[in-house]
Structure 1
């Protein structure tokens, strides 16, 4: 029975806070340092250049993260973002590994050829993503540590 296509989006909240914090605090700190130490104008230009370049990098990261999504459609796993689209078929997946971090967060590693893909709880809704991934693993007999990871027999 084919699965219904499900889309999982990348959560932006973890990267918005630090980025906005930097964009707001850096000019204040640079201005205060420049004022207190009476720095020459060249230093202010250097600080402004650093700020402009990092602001562009942060903006590019935000755009890329906003466009990141995983689509699971009829046993196909599709990774999609501004940088391109990668379609994984079950026959291409060599191994799926499940790990726990020190903070008790679950990470999934998909090995496809020489490439490695990672899934974490930054994709929403992560529990549904794991459920569909587990169904694909079982249905296609993909090598994994699923049974030992969840202490299944």
Structure 2
């Protein structure tokens, strides 16, 4: 395992990101389809409230299609440090694990060079009245939406 690799995630390291706080970076070249890691943390059921001490300024929450939420801040791993980009190089894929429970795989969607920061598109879904400026994007890509919110779907 490389010197800076994280246990259980031999292909990534967490360090300072120019985009936001800490980020996850590739330690080696990764071809498309490479498993970056499984997003882990405390699970909340669809009807279970987040703890009273939940910090809504820095969150590692990932909602799944079955209504559960994974809180990477509680028992999570290095995958929680993937920052947002409007042109991501990774994606989150749901699949059923051995127990039948949904798991969230983080995979490369294109070739990633060693040293490159790993990104997913957060595509946040929030209240319809939310102001996109309350969720600013700092990715700096040419096609940046300017927000972490999911792209608006327009009907033709």
> What's the TM-score, normalizing by structure 1?
0.24
Larger-Rg structure: 1
Higher share of residues assigned helix: 1
> What's the TM-score, normalizing by structure 2?
0.24
